[in-house]
Amino acid sequence: MRKALIILVLTICGTLAATQVLAVEAGGKAELIYTGVWSENGDFKDELNDYLELELYLPSLGKTEFSYAFLVDLPLQGLTTGKEAGYFTKKLYLKHRFPRFHLTVGRQPVSWSFGSMLNPVDYTIGAEVFEEETRSKFTDALEAYIPLNWNSGLTLVASFSTGFDFATEKMKWGVRGRFGVKGYDLTVNYVQEPEVAGAGGHGQEQGSQGSTGSVPLPRRRVGFTFKGDLGDLGVYGTFGHYFGETNENSNGYLLGVDYSYNIGYYGKLTMQMEYLLLDGINLLQVLGQFMIMSSGKEKTRLITGNLAYPIDDFSTVMLTAVANPDGSKYLVIPRYQNTLPGNIDLDLSCSFYLSDSKLEKTAISVGLSYPF
């Protein structure tokens, strides 16, 4: 039954990608990723994963749009090695543009990102980490967007981790105002988690990753962000206040800068640096897959930097470094991306994790993807 489902999905993907059926178009990506990890004691573990992502593009019906996108885990290995394939719906929603507001209903991406590498005041903490999406970004929700003027608006969201259950104790909700003030982009938001905690605690939507386990997020939080230019520098920052259940409040702070430097006529070196302070161990899911960089203390300080340089129109080199000076932990990730002939994207990266000046873990990742 599982193999029959995979074959059906692959057949539909091939048919829709190659032709237009009833004005329906399809796009997506097929991806193959190999990872290997060496630990300090010499042990080596590796893993091969394949994914298929597909999104249908349907014509709008007046001011109403329909969107459907899904992800299949291990489709090839499900057919060839008997491994269990998985299915995850990323988008399945209707969006209608009313005269005074836009309403979106269904499974949809909900994220209040603003260009930072880490975001302690997102709608779902850890939904995007270093521009990488986690599945907690996609949730069953109702979202209303009210434009106030060309650079300001109000967003209201109610989301559900176990289907559309409007019981107060199971519903998560938030409101976000965005305003343009003298060249700066300012936002203010408020989020209230449901009384009934999901897997991993409050704030963990369906399919989330990076959970803090027995240390859930506070139920209520407010956040503020700013972003703009200060001379040649781009500057941004956040402040989040998290209300504890027993008056044990927590705070999160982030300050970042970015800068671009032209090298020659075509080259441009892009630099970005952030300082993050988390005043509370229950905020560690901000780090997502980089939770290993926490010191396990009440306060976590991280200094993060990223360099990116396009060698030519097809290839880019990047370097990401994360430092936790309080815990003497450091992570260095060089990365190389290239578009090969046949429109195949190559992504090669290495990760070097150091603790107390010793190399404790080394990882390599090789990814091949074909967008269509």
Per-residue pLDDT reduced to its tens digit, 10-54: 555 555 555 444 567 889 999 999 999 999 888 999 999 999 999
Tell whether 207 is covered by a domain. Answer: yes
- 336-339 CB contacts, 8 Å cutoff, 24+ apart: 338/314, 339/314, 339/315
Residue-number span of the structural domain to which 319 is assigned: 98-371
**If pLDDT is split at 50, 70 and 90, which confidence band does 81 have?**
confident
Domain assignment of residue 15, yes or no = no
Report the C-alpha gap between 17 and 7 in whole angstroms: 15
Assess if residue 61 is contained within a domain.
no
Domain count, the chain: 1
In a domain, residue 336? The reply is yes
> Does some domain include residue 192?
yes
23 assigned to some structural domain: no
pLDDT value at residue 212: 40
Tens of pLDDT, residue by residue over 158-187, are: 999 877 766 667 899 999 999 999 999 999
Please indicate whether residue 297 or residue 213 has the higher confidence score (pLDDT): 297
Q: For the whole model, what pTM was predicted? A: 0.83
- In this structure, the strands spanning 25-39 and 299-310 are unpaired
Mean pLDDT of 223-251: 90
The per-residue pLDDT for range 51-62, each reduced to its tens digit, is: 999 999 888 889
Within a domain: residue 358? yes
Beta strand pairing status for 171-181 and 184-192?
antiparallel
- Smallest CA-to-CA distance from 42 within 362, 334, 348 is with 362
For 211, counting Cβ atoms within 10 Å of its Cβ (0-12 exposed, 13-18 middle, 19+ buried), the class is: buried
Sign, Cα dihedral of 335, 339, 341, 344: positive
Evaluate whether residue 285 is within a structural domain: yes
pLDDT tens digits, one per residue of 293-340? 887 777 899 999 999 999 988 999 999 999 999 888 999 999 999 999
CATH code for the domain of 341? 2.40.160.130
